[in-house]
Amino acid sequence: AQSVSQHNHHVILSEAASLELGCNYSYGGTVNLFWYVQYPGQHLQLLLKYFSGDPLVKGIKGFEAEFIKSKFSFNLRKPSVQWSDTAEYFCAADTGRRALTFGSGTRLQVQP
């Protein structure tokens, strides 16, 4: 079955540190990829998405993600995190089903 894996369950960083959250998907066909973020007490919101073209996509708040087809990966990056980036991050894939498949999420805690 198609799946999305996020191997980092809980990440703790200091402010200004660089961030990379891993996301791998298992699907051999064309895939659209997404990162969603859930700030404490808020609803899930779209961070960025990849459909085609440039494999390096930029989203809101300085986040970016790189699609590497050969590795089935779509890792999320940010050069310098802020305390306000503390949130839970979900990778999701359109794997041909009629609804997105989400990963289990990564809880990011940024310490001031």
35 and 59 in contact (C-beta within 8 Å)? yes
Residue 1 touches another protein, criterion: CB under 8 A: no
* Minimum separation from the CB atom of position 48 to another protein (A): 10
Tokens of 13: 């960083």
User: DSSP state, 109?
Assistant: E
Chosen residue from 81, 103, 108, 110 binding another protein by CB under 8 A: 103
Residue 2 touches another protein, criterion: CB under 8 A: no
- Specify the length of the chain in residues: 112
Candidates 80, 105, 99; CA nearest to 16 is 80
Pattern 68-97, binding to another protein, x per CB under 8 A? ----------------------x-x-x--x
